[in-house]
Structure 1
Amino acid sequence: MRRKDFFCSLRILLLSGLLFQINFIYGQNSNFIPLTTAKFSIGNNAAWAQPAFNDSSWNDCKLGDTWQTQGFADYHGFAWYRIHVNIPSALKNKAVWQDSLRIFLAHVNDADETFLNGVLIGKTGAFPEDKGGYVSKWPAVRNYCLAVNNPAIFWDKENVIAVKVYDGGGSGGIFMGTPFVDMLEKFDGIDFKLSDINFNSSPRTERKLSITNKFNTTVSGVFHYRVTDEVNGKIIEQRSIPVSLAPFSVHDCSFYFPHREGIKLLYDFKENPSGKVKSFAETAPYILTPQEKLHPVINAPDVVGLHPGSPFIFRIPVSGKRPFKFTLKNLPPGLHADLHQGIITGMVKQKGNYIAKIFVKNSHGADSKSIAIKVGDRLALTPPMGWNSWNCWGLGVSYDRVKSSANALIEKGLADYGWNYINVDDGWQAKNRLASGEILPNEKFTDMKALGDELHKEGLRFGIYSSPGNSTCGGFLGSLGHERQDANTYFKWGVDYLKYDLCSYSDNVAGDTTLLAQQKPYMVMRDALKQQQRDIIYSICQYGIHDVWKWGDAMNGNLWRTTEDITDTWESLYNIGFSQTNNAAYAHPGGWNDPDMLIVGRVGWGEGLHPSNLTPHEQYTHISLWSLLSAPLLIGCDISKLDDFTLNLLKNREVIAIDQDVLGSQAIRIKNRDQIQVWQKKLHAGGRAIGIFNLSNAYKTYRFTIPNARNKSYQIRDVWAQKNIPNKSGTVVFQIPPHGVKLIKI
């Protein structure tokens, strides 16, 4: 799986009959026609665009869900949707502006051409046969508009919206939203943009907001905001502001809200003269993680693994005020440390277990920690942590963007908490291999070895992406037939991590859906990686087909994707995160279930980066659940522009420690009732980490009691707040926010 912003004058373009795509949308207007079902067929035929084509024998398909969930589980390639809909003239007559018809198709994966009654009304992305080849435009919203006098619209008659889709891999179809047809109104040009919040010690925090008119016509109305207490619904503050927005103009405003959990901010813009209201609500962000201490704190995992005879690099994660002075004792023979930067490098030739002692001090204090260095057959003894380019840059990944992310990982202190992989996802490959078959980077990456060397110099690790098929999900070169050659190249470049994404490989197995057909490409690359004298983490990405958690370890996989791609919606987070109920037994040090990358911060999959659509409550749930699941933690946002709230999520050492617990146990669900789920994870020191999740849309009270607590001494700790919770007889009453969590440790 895997849009330039283009805003223009509706009056000029639509009334002249031209077509264009807009990409701002908050929801349909009050008079609309929902599009819920379509006729569907895989394949490709130009005749299928025509309204007269007889599609009565086609499959019925629900719009809003992928075709993989509707009987085409392993299909990737071309498919068509034909949506039959009567568009009454009453829809136009009831509109205030009466300017243009909008056809909203939600998200389409990956490229589409959309026709109305045989007339092409929009195209997003490019198909394999197009000049320049396949271009994925996931996750662009398809939102096509036509002037009301466009002859392609059959008013008061049946219309056929025919959508030609090409899916290059992963999920396919029209999904992540409910398609509809409506009339565009002036207030649809109103857009709310929130600035990052700069938190400080004040009990009140400033929210800055911009109201933008994206149309070439003046829009007037009243902006109203309310600050409310989410628990009791009481209004803390509210105000109405008359606003007149000239074409393409911006109006800025600001107000304050209490800095605590449970504050909701509601915004309304009532447009004159229609009286139509555009509303937007947000849960105010709040920080739970205590402020970072000045004295040094070592945040390293308790154990690291490496192969004998392989180069080793390890940046000691230490938070606090720099500079630090490091002292190390009992390093294995062959390893040495840069005592200024705190980076361990070298090579250990003999297998064995070593206990290294790390000491660090600065002008504010000192810390020490013992780390087990296990030289043997296993890597990834704790889940990998780092950054991956896909969820922010998509196919637009480049050397500059990767280097910027690596710099930010260090400058913003994330490397001080163990985030150390910098992974280049799809889009780095040149169009053609050398005559010898060697793969090359494209013009965005002139020298991959130099990139790897730069990352290693900072103590970071270098990850890369490929596919066992002829092409990747984004249409770039895969590794089919060149597996050994590519593994050799990765070795020369200094690659430490390979994400191997199934994508087009299914095109080569002629419909063979057996387990062996799924395993074979991963066996081939497994054997190629084994020949390299380098520790390369092997990430098996094939979406959980044939219960990969049962056989990923036999492929020497260090992590294996258990689901389809994640997106920044509650529905996606819920469906993926809370479905990990049948694979806990297969997670262990060296092999981890992977429910996909993190969706916090500014994401966008290549175009139009935006703050995550998850509420703050949902983002706390996201990080808590992934840590309980012992999931790999790969940041998916633009970390060069991280705000304070997102840094708070990613720099809580106690939450990270749950994920990195040396026991390697994955949490299991122990309660699922009344929209409350409780997940419990065993910890190596004998304690337990427990997540209490509220899946409802309102605050819920939950009484938590430790069984047999009267006979033993227990301490309950709030992990996010990093403080112990006073309790009597092991009982605590929690108020849990909607889609939120209480993460505790016992």
Structure 2
Amino acid sequence: MILKKIAGTFCISFFTLFVQSQPSVALTPPMGWNSWNLFEEEVSDKLIRQIADALVVSGMANAGYQYIVIDDFWVGGRNANNELFPDLARFPNGMKALADYVHAKGLKLGIYSDAASLTCGGVTGSYNFEEHDATTFAKWGIDYLKYDYCNAPDDMVSAFTRYKKMGDALHKTNRAIVYSICEWGQREPWLWARAAGGNLWRTTWDMRDTWQSDKYDNGHNGILNTIEKQKGLEKYAGPGGFNDPDLLVTGLFGKGKSSSLNGRFNGCSLTEYRTQFAIWCMLASPLMVNLDVRNMDTAVKAILLNKELIAIDQDALGNQAAAMVDANGWLVYKKELSGDRFAICILNRSNATAAYSFNLETALKIYGQWTAREIFSNRQLRASKAVTGELAAHDCAIFMLSKAGTKK
């Protein structure tokens, strides 16, 4: 068994030498909306059109949220030519007409399938029909594919093989389709997903609408559980390929069968939601919301439209923040940005308010004199050698660092 795993890992490493040329997609982490946590099997043509309208009217489209991803349960089956078709009761106009509507709004449409015969929801998957389905998606005008791994083999080599087969099929269409590998991190996709053609790859189980879950190993990830799993993965992220810690539960407040597990998880505080969004931006994560954007809480909308946080996520360098301090309830991230700048995120993981002070040189390995500004409070630290302050439980501070004396 050990020899088989070593051989499989070597095989995958060998393939990384021959990563295919891809269209220029996902040079920064994709931003958008996904139907899964809130709507599941209730997804429909009518809903997607309403979401497209709401993204434009709310200002989210202008902020960069451009992909609308239809998750599981959309498939009706295959026709006599083995082509997928949607559930016509919920998508009576077909997918091409829906894609045309979304595109007319200046947005892009995503879709879902699975690397097995059946999806997680039990409808038709794409295994052994990869080229058929990739061609169909391209013909419809699809811009993003989320490709799941339910009902598929456990081993890494099979996962790589199945994902690469779809990656090759998407590449052959010559359409710029973002390829989202939804393997949940069990087979370490950060090692091989780029070689399979992936633009983003899941690093954990599904996100749940809670700060922390004690059921972590059974796929019940809270926000903090997921944050802890991202340490050390920063070296695998960069333009064209990003680690994906799953959807933003920001703003769900316990709604949605999947994220709340039918009411088992009751949602998070506004502080915890802001922390999730801020850290996802630090981690160069895809920013895929799944709240009802037709009816957004004003405070949640302010979080999701924070231009400075979005700019950190979308920075051209594509760097994922590295954890520099991980002790005594504190987690401190450093992210190098374009323009000779840094973003620093300080997270209070404890359940009580606490004061902090972190030296730039000794703790964060940032040398010289810097001007620091905390984004949420707009507090300035002039020519500072340290970042200091106080944080409530589960809150975070984001400092933007520029060389002292430079114009911002």
The TM-score range, normalised by the shorter chain, is: 0.7 to 0.9
Which residues in structure 2 correspond to 1:7-22 (within 5 Å)? none
- The 3 A distance-change label for structure 1 pair 711 and 452 is closer
- The 3 A distance-change label for structure 1 pair 609 and 449 is farther
Structure scoring higher RCO (CA < 8 A, sep ≥ 6) equals 2
Partner deviation per Cα, 1:83-121 (whole Å, 9 max, x = no partner) = xxxxxxxxxxxxxxxxxxxxxxxxxxxxxxxxxxxxxxx
Residue of structure 2 equivalent to 1:435: 80
* 2:275 is the counterpart of 1:630: no
Partner deviation per Cα, 1:565-591 (whole Å, 9 max, x = no partner) = 010111111111122112111101000
The gaps in structure 2 that reach 5 residues or longer are: 1-20, 213-221, 402-408
State the secondary structure of the residue aligned to 2:151. Answer: helix
1:531 offset after TM fit, Å? Answer: 1.2
* 2:188 is the counterpart of 1:543: no
Contact 1:389 1:424 in 2 (8 A): yes
Residue of structure 2 equivalent to 1:425: 71
1:704 offset after TM fit, Å? Answer: 3.3
1:733 offset after TM fit, Å? Answer: 2.8
Partner deviation per Cα, 1:108-156 (whole Å, 9 max, x = no partner) = xxxxxxxxxxxxxxxxxxxxxxxxxxxxxxxxxxxxxxxxxxxxxxxxx
* 2:94 is the counterpart of 1:444: no
Contact 2:35 2:71 in 1 (8 A): yes
Distance in structure 2 (CA, Å) of the matches to 1:534 and 1:444 = 26
RMSD between aligned residues: 2.2
Q: What is the number of residues matched between the two proteins? A: 364
Distance in structure 2 (CA, Å) of the matches to 1:694 and 1:449 = 47
Residue of structure 2 equivalent to 1:480: 127
* 2:249 is the counterpart of 1:599: yes
Contact 1:390 1:605 in 2 (8 A): no
Distance in structure 1 (CA, Å) of the matches to 2:375 and 2:96 = 40
- Of 207, 220, 223, 1:566 maps to 207
Contact 1:600 1:612 in 2 (8 A): no
4+ runs deviating over 2 angstroms:
375-378, 605-612, 704-713, 726-733
1:609 offset after TM fit, Å? Answer: 9.0
1:389 offset after TM fit, Å? Answer: 0.3
- Of 321, 327, 331, 1:667 maps to 321
* 2:281 is the counterpart of 1:620: no
Q: TM-score, normalised by structure 1?
A: 0.47
More strand, by proportion: 1
Question: Which amino acid is 1:437 matched to?
Answer: N
- The 3 A distance-change label for structure 1 pair 695 and 531 is same
Distance in structure 2 (CA, Å) of the matches to 1:612 and 1:661 = 33
Contact 2:115 2:148 in 1 (8 A): yes
Distance in structure 1 (CA, Å) of the matches to 2:366 and 2:125 = 60
State the secondary structure of the residue aligned to 2:357. Answer: strand
State the secondary structure of the residue aligned to 1:504. Answer: coil
Question: Which amino acid is 1:580 matched to?
Answer: Q
Distance in structure 1 (CA, Å) of the matches to 2:266 and 2:134 = 35
The gaps in structure 1 that reach 5 residues or longer are: 1-374, 507-512
State the secondary structure of the residue aligned to 1:688. Answer: strand
- Of 218, 233, 240, 1:590 maps to 240
Question: Which amino acid is 1:716 matched to?
Answer: A
Which segment is superposed worse, 378-387 or 599-608?
Answer: 599-608
Contact 2:359 2:386 in 1 (8 A): yes
Distance in structure 2 (CA, Å) of the matches to 1:683 and 1:437 = 47
Residue of structure 1 equivalent to 2:5: none
- Of 336, 354, 363, 1:700 maps to 354
Residue of structure 1 equivalent to 2:394: 739
- The 3 A distance-change label for structure 1 pair 729 and 484 is closer
Q: TM-score, normalised by structure 2?
A: 0.85
- Of 357, 363, 370, 1:714 maps to 370
State the secondary structure of the residue aligned to 1:672. Answer: strand
Distance in structure 1 (CA, Å) of the matches to 2:370 and 2:156 = 47
Partner deviation per Cα, 1:478-514 (whole Å, 9 max, x = no partner) = 01221111111101110000000000123xxxxxx44
Partner deviation per Cα, 1:663-708 (whole Å, 9 max, x = no partner) = 1111111111110110111112121111100011110100133339
Residue of structure 2 equivalent to 1:464: 111
Percent identical residues: 38
- Of 519, 527, 545, 2:160 maps to 519
State the secondary structure of the residue aligned to 2:370. Answer: coil
1:710 offset after TM fit, Å? Answer: 12
1:620 offset after TM fit, Å? Answer: 1.6
Residue of structure 1 equivalent to 2:17: none
Partner deviation per Cα, 1:253-279 (whole Å, 9 max, x = no partner) = xxxxxxxxxxxxxxxxxxxxxxxxxxx
Contact 2:146 2:182 in 1 (8 A): yes
1:730 offset after TM fit, Å? Answer: 3.2
Contact 2:114 2:126 in 1 (8 A): yes
